[in-house]
Amino acid sequence: MKNFKRNCLAAMLSSLVLAGAYAPAEASSHREAPFLTNAPKVDGTDFYMFRSYAPGREAYVTMIANYIPFQDPQGGPNFYQFDQNALYEIHIDNNGDAKEDITFQFRFKNTSKKTALDIGGKSVLIPLINSSTISGVNPPSLNVRETYSIDMVTGDRRRGNRTRLISATGGASEFDKPVDNIGDKTFGSATAYETYANQHIYDIAMGACGTGRVFVGQRKEPFYIAVGKIFDLFNLDPLGSQVNGNRNDLEGKNVSTITMEVPIACLTHGTEPVIGGYTTASMRQGRLLNPAPGPGINNAVKEGGAWSQVSRVGMPLVNEVIIGLDDKDRFNTSRPKDDAQFINYVTNPVLPAVVEKLFPSAKAPTNFPRTDLVTVFLKGLPNLNQPGNVVASEMLRLNTLIAPTRAASQNPLGVAAGDNAGFPNGRRPGDDVVDLSLRVAMGGLCVLTGDTDKLKVGCKPSDAPAGSLPLTDGVRKTAADFKTVFPYLNTPLPGNGSHACTSCSQPDASR
C-alpha cells in the first residue's frame, strides 16, 4: 500500500511537464512568453533542485537555474553573456507560506581589456572576445572578463537582511565566469575546455551552516524533447511504446547556467524538511537608449529605477502550456503568493482537451474542477513533498529528508517508478518530465488513487479513461547521460562544430 501511494503521488507531479509538450514556445520554459522573445538574456529556461547525489555530497542541495535558450555553439564574436543590467535570483520558501525566505542574488559585470594591435603604426582594438588560446582564470588572451557577485538575502528579497557571499579560500567577493566554449583550437583540445571551466568552481563561505559551491557558465542544453514533432500538431505517436525513437531537437544547443550547491542546514527552517524553490530574473523599470554610445561594453542603453521581475521558472512547462497566451507575461511578473489569480488554468486545463482532439482515443478527464492538478501544481504531494502548512502556489518542492538516489540507480520516471528522490520531489537532469506530465495531465493520478480515492485528490478511475496510457514524446535520457558530480550538466558543445551531433537524434556522451 505504501508503494502504491508513492507511485500515485509521483504521477500527479508529472502533469506539470505534460503541459510543456504543447507549449507555443519550443521547450520547457524557452521563449515561453511574448516579452521574453525580445529579451533572451533574462529568459529562464529550466530550474532543477535535488539532493546532491555525488558521493560524499548527500548533505547538500543542488540548485540549477538555466538561462539564455537555444544557443548555437558557433555564437561568435560575442558568444553568450549574462545581462549586466539584470538581476538573477534563486528563491527558497522553507515554511510553505508561498513567500521567499532565502534569496540568492547574482549580478554580472563585463569588463573590456581593450586589447589592441599595432596596425600600420596605429593601435587598433581587436574585434574578438579573445586574442589567442585560453587557459586558466582570466588570462591576458581573454579580451572580455565576465565576473559576478552573490548576495544572500533572508526575508523579503528587496527589504531583507543582505550578506555578500565570499570565497571560502581567500575571501574574494567577485567570481570569474568562464568564457563560452569558443572551440577546440582556442582551448587546445576537445576535452581541455572542461579543465578550464572546472577552475571556475568556487567554494563559498555561508556562515555558521557551512561551505557551499557555485559554478556559473555555459553548459550543454540538458532539457530533452521532440520539439519539432510536438509543435506540428503532435506529429508523433504518443500512444506508442517506443520511449526513445524520436529526435531530441535540443541536442545541438547550449545554455547558460547558475548552479549552486548549498548545505541543507542553510536552506531548511525548524522542523519543516520541505523547501520550495524557483528562479527569477528582473530588469530595471527604466531604459534610455544612448544615441551616441562611447567606447565600452553595453553602454548603448542607460537603465535605472526599481527592479521589475520579467521571468519566472519553478515547475517545468507551467507557463508554456498551462497559462493562457494573454496571461503569460503577467505570470512571469507575479510571485507565488499571488498565484490564486491563475487558478482556472489549473482547475479547468486546456491541454487534456487538446490531446483528446488530436487523438480521440485518449479521452480527457471529466472531473472538474481538477483538484488532482491543484495538488501537484500548487501544493506538493501528501506524504512526499507537501509542507505542513502549505499555501497553494507554483514552485518546485523538495523533501530534504529523502536520501538521494545514486546516478546508476535513478529512474527517469522518478516517484512514479518508486524513485522518491526524483520528480516531482524536486527535479534532476535525467528526470523525464515530459512523459510524466503527459500521463498525469490525462488523469494518471485519478487511476492511481482508485475508486475509494485513497489519495484524497477528488477523482476516481472512471473520471480518466486515458489515465493509464503510457503517453510519451519518444525522447528519453537518464542520469547516465549527464555528469555524476557537480555541476552535473555536460560540457558545452564547441563553437568550431567539431562535436558529433550530426542528426542530433541520440544523447550526447560528454559527461
pLDDT band at 30 (very low <50, low <70, confident <90, very high): low
Distance of alpha carbon 252 from alpha carbon 511, whole angstroms: 15
80: pLDDT strictly greater than 50:
yes
Helix H or strand E segment including 281: strand 274-289
The confidence score (pLDDT) of residue 498 equals 60
Residue 148 has pLDDT above 80, yes or no: yes
Distance in angstroms (rounded) separating the CA atoms of residues 375 and 381: 6
Across the strands, what pairs with 263?
A: 60
pLDDT of residue 505 exceeding 60: no
Report the pLDDT value the prediction gives residue 227, as an integer from 0 to 100. 81
Q: Which residues pair with 475 in a beta bridge?
A: none
Mean pLDDT of 171-178: 98
pLDDT of residue 294: 78
- Per domain, the residue ranges of the chain are 2-481
Cell of 342: 491563475
For 311-346, how does the pLDDT look when each residue is reduced to its tens digit (9 = 90+)? 999 999 888 778 888 999 999 999 999 999 999 999
Question: Per this entry, what is the length of the chain?
Answer: 511
Largest Cα–Cα separation, the chain: 86
Least trusted range by pLDDT, from 121-125, 181-185, 410-414, 441-445:
441-445
pLDDT of residue 58: 97
- Which of 56-65, 323-332, 501-510 has the least mean pLDDT? 501-510
Interval 25-44 mean pLDDT: 69
DSSP three-state, residue 338: helix
Q: Which of 215, 206, 220, 287 is nearest to 255 (CA)?
A: 220
Cell 542541495 sits on residue = 61
pLDDT of residue 188: 93
Q: How many percent of the chain have pLDDT more than 70?
A: 90
Strand partners, 182: none
Q: Is the pLDDT of residue 235 over 90?
A: no
The stretch 166-180 carries a mean pLDDT of: 97
Burial class (CB in 10 A: 0-12, 13-18, 19+), 40: middle
Burial of 120 (0-12, 13-18, 19+ CB in 10 A): exposed
Q: List the beta strands (DSSP E) in 336-413.
A: 396-399
